[in-house]
Amino acid sequence: MSKSKSKGAKKAAKKKESDKAAKAVKAVKVSKATKGSGKGASKSKASKRGSSKAEPLASAPAALAAPNVYDVPVDVEPVDKELLPAEPISSVLRVRRGFVLADFDPESTPGFDEGRKEGEKALEAFAPEIGEWQERLFAETKGGGKRSLLIVLQGLDSAGKGGIVRHVMTNCDPAGIKATAFKAPTEEERQHDFLWRVRKALPGPGQIGVFDRSHYEDVLITKVRKLVPAGEITKRYAVINAFEREVIDSGTEILKVFMYISRDEQKARLMERLDRPDKRFKYTPGDTDNRAYWDDYMKAFQVMLARTSTVAAPWYVIPANNKWYARYAVQQLILEKLRAMSPDWPVPDYDIEVEKARLADS
């Protein structure tokens, strides 16, 4: 190809890409609700994918997002209106000042009264959207993006933490998920500060990290079993808040979920594990031992929620006696977070038409 033809091809390619971008921006303006989360979204067909309160598109890329993206709507099928929450799940489950855990009903289903059948249908219907957002988040790193999402799952034994990954993240690429289950610290981990092992487990750019238990164990079991002086526990709340602020500033959004079940529900689930050969591997005698400390754990959870539910990283308490609702609620919280982050397909740094021509001639 001659130099003049090469220049002409590049000019034509740039014009074509410019026209595509203009069309994409126009499409976004028509379908803003696809990336929002709300009632305003219901004004367009694409809005059925949102929840009940629309958020405006950002006028400039979020910090640490890919700087040059196509800005196109999510390509998923609309979800039936009855499968949407009555109001954003984040608004009904967020821990605010004055929250009292003892007044919260673990049997309730705030924001969604359609029942188990519809809840399970919704879980399946929204799965493709989570899958696309996750792929976009990963793709963003190819255009210079450095963002990620960390989901912190906290709760007592059998609260349903493990089921979240299996049932909520079904459409996600496993390569983009970094799941960590925190057990009792190893000998090596004990030689470091309590956040050392947590830092090592943080998701990298483009990943969704999932913590099954977390750094909060260091203000829960250590407090209940008196493994650490009370004064040290008190200091850790502030240390955790500062740590999470640092993580967010580095580009990782944090979603903190407390799975709350009743004492009777826990007993029933643990008994089922003992009754079923395929569930016994999940049970340890320590699960029953811990039930003797139930009231102490409830007090520790109350303090944890009060001291570490911040503006930047609030807690959401999930009534988890009904597994279908717990999964639906966490799914909606993840969707709200990903819609707000709104990762997008990056514009490549090569000339597409030139590469097509090269490929055709190869």
Q: What is the pLDDT of residues 314-337, one digit of tens each?
A: 999 999 999 999 999 999 999 999
**What would the mean pLDDT of 71-96 be, rounded to a whole number?**
94
Model confidence at 354, in pLDDT bands (50, 70, 90)? very high
Q: Residue 315 corresponds to which tokens in the numbers above?
A: 């807690």
Instruction: Specify whether the CB–CB gap between 206 and 145 falls below 8 A.
Output: yes
CA distance 258 to 239: 20
User: Whats the size of the chain, residue-wise?
Assistant: 362
Section 21-26 average pLDDT: 40
**pLDDT greater than 80 at residue 18:** no
Asked if 244 and 254 touch (Cβ cutoff 8 Å), the reply is yes
C-alpha–C-alpha distance, residues 188 and 125, integer Å: 44
pLDDT greater than 50 at residue 8:
no
Q: What per-residue confidence (pLDDT) applies to 165?
A: 84
Phi, psi of 212 (to 5 degrees): -95, 100
- What's the mean pLDDT when you consider all of the chain? 86
Has residue 27 got a pLDDT over 50? no
What is the distance between the terminal CA atoms of the chain, rounded to a whole angstrom?
13
| Overall pTM > 0.85 | no
Q: Measured between alpha carbons, how far is 186 from 188 in angstroms, rounded to an integer?
A: 5
Is residue 349 scored above 70 in pLDDT?
A: yes
What residue has token string 């913590």?
Answer: 211
pLDDT at 321: 97
pLDDT at 244 over 50: yes
**Which domains, from first to last, does the chain contain?**
82-115+130-332 (3.40.50.300)
Task: For residues 272 and 179, give the distance between their C-alpha atoms in angstroms, rounded to a whole number.
Answer: 26
3-state secondary structure string, 293-313? CHHHHHHHHHHHHHHHCCCCC
Q: What is the pLDDT of residue 62?
A: 72
